[in-house]
Amino acid sequence: MTTIRTPAKIIPRAFPGIKPDEVQEIIVNSRIATYPPDTVICRENEIEYVFYMILEGDFEVTKVINNSETRLLKSLTAGDFFGEMALIHNAPRAATVKSKTNVIVLEIDKDGFNRVLKHSPSVAMAMVHEISRRLRQNDQMAIEDLRMRASELADAYQKLAEQDLVRREFLSNVAHELRTPLMVASGYLHAIQKGMFAGEQLTATIDTISRNVDQITTLANDLLFMQEIELVLPEFQPVNIIEVVNEVVKKYEEKAKARQVTIKVKGDRGISKVRGDAQSLERAVTALVDNAIKFSAQNGEVEIRYSEEGTRVRVSIEDHGIGISPEIRPRIFDRFFHVDKNGDQLYSGLGIGLSITRQVIQQHQGMLEVESEVGKGSKFTISLLRWR
């Protein structure tokens, strides 16, 4: 460690080959100053005409890149100098210099700096070398930033392309999901208008039309709910999650029966109420039960189980169907991602159910876990805060 009594030993480290009289020229035109740690000596873009030479301590030099990222350019220590660029070019500070430790510096104002350059060829030559080096460094940093921006633009373009593809696939899926029930309902309505059905046949036809209209209504409601869930935060109340699940099971009895799937509900019926919004939670459970039935094999079984652990109530929905491959598991909660085929089996849907479920559970400060093995089924578990 040096001391403030030895600037004559530090100056030659900054300017190799400097003559004794040139050292004296610097000392005569400078003043000694001390600063504590975390002192900003120079601030980027500010106007200030002082040249600094470090006698003791350490500094860090930083620069703001793209108005957001603060980048460390380098560290300085005894024998280094800074501030010459602003004096030579009459420009604002190009970077911020802050002390990391207690520091001692020689400070030279603009007039003194000009006198030193005029009378000291060694200092002037050192300045030329240093400025050239820093210009090269700035060029390299500019090139690096351009490369980074180019990479970010390429990534952004790729994401936009992927989003556009998802959008087009989504619109195609929406059209497909709406077309089938609309065509069925429309066809039967035209047949009724022409008097083609009567008696029990008419009643069955009206039931078919009703189911297809319900399917269209459910799809429209899901799309609206998905858009509104992030905008409207419901006021949470104590919710009987068992009643919510029972309502969903009742709604899906016919669909499960049509696929020859059995739904079994197990667990302690006396578990606590949860903190939440009943309507939103019903949508979340609906999506999981719908998926479980859809991806179960015929004569399969969907098991819904309740449990209570500490401050949380857990509801799991498990099927023994096709399972989820590890490759697509990270994407299953993405909007509009859906499995449309498994072997020869085709699956309908827009891929918004699990996305809705995740949003609802996040809104409730809950947790959503998934366990799955290909060919053996999947288990989704919702964990919700108990009402207190």
Nearest to 20 by CA among 38, 8, 4, 36: 8
- Give every CB contact of residue 304 below 8 A, 6+ residues apart in sequence: 245, 249, 263, 264, 265, 266, 289, 315, 316, 317, 318
Q: What's the rounded mean pLDDT across residues 283-306? A: 91
CB 86 within 8 A of CB 49: yes
pTM of the complete model = 0.49
How many other C-beta atoms are found inside a 10 Å radius of the C-beta of residue 253? Answer: 10
Report helix, strand or coil for 3: coil
How many Å apart are CA 361 and CA 382, to the nearest integer? Answer: 7
How many Å apart are CA 181 and CA 187, to the nearest integer? Answer: 10
Q: Torsions phi, psi of 127, nearest 5?
A: -65, -40
Percent of the chain with pLDDT over 70: 85
| pLDDT for the residue 343 | 53
| pLDDT for the residue 4 | 46
Q: Determine which helix (DSSP H) or strand (DSSP E) holds 239, and give its type and residue range.
A: strand 237-239
| pLDDT for the residue 77 | 92
At 209, list the tokens. 């039309």
| pLDDT for the residue 342 | 54
Nearest to 24 by CA among 93, 115, 88: 115
Q: Torsions phi, psi of 106, nearest 5?
A: -90, 130
How many Å apart are CA 388 and CA 383, to the nearest integer? Answer: 15
How many Å apart are CA 173 and CA 166, to the nearest integer? Answer: 10
How many Å apart are CA 120 and CA 114, to the nearest integer? Answer: 10
- Give every CB contact of residue 221 below 8 A, 6+ residues apart in sequence: none
Please, which pLDDT band fits residue 248 given cuts at 50, 70 and 90? very high
- Give every CB contact of residue 186 below 8 A, 6+ residues apart in sequence: none
177: amino acid identity, one letter: E
Query: Do the bridges between strand 262-266 and strand 301-309 make them parallel or antiparallel, or are there none, so unpaired?
Result: parallel
Is 50 exceeded by the pLDDT of residue 191? yes
Residue with tokens 């419901």: 234
* Helical spans, DSSP H, in the chain: 7-14, 20-28, 84-89, 110-119, 121-193, 199-228, 241-251, 253-258, 278-294, 353-363
Q: pLDDT tens-digit profile of 276-294?
A: 999 889 989 998 998 899 8
Q: What's the rounded mean pLDDT across residues 245-258? A: 91
Q: pLDDT tens-digit profile of 342-363?
A: 555 545 555 677 888 888 898 8
Percent of the chain with pLDDT over 90: 29
Report helix, strand or coil for 73: strand
Nearest to 245 by CA among 195, 272, 283, 218: 283
- Give every CB contact of residue 314 below 8 A, 6+ residues apart in sequence: 306, 307, 308, 381, 382, 383, 384
Strand order in the sheet with 81-82: 31-35, 103-109, 50-56, 81-82
| pLDDT for the residue 135 | 66
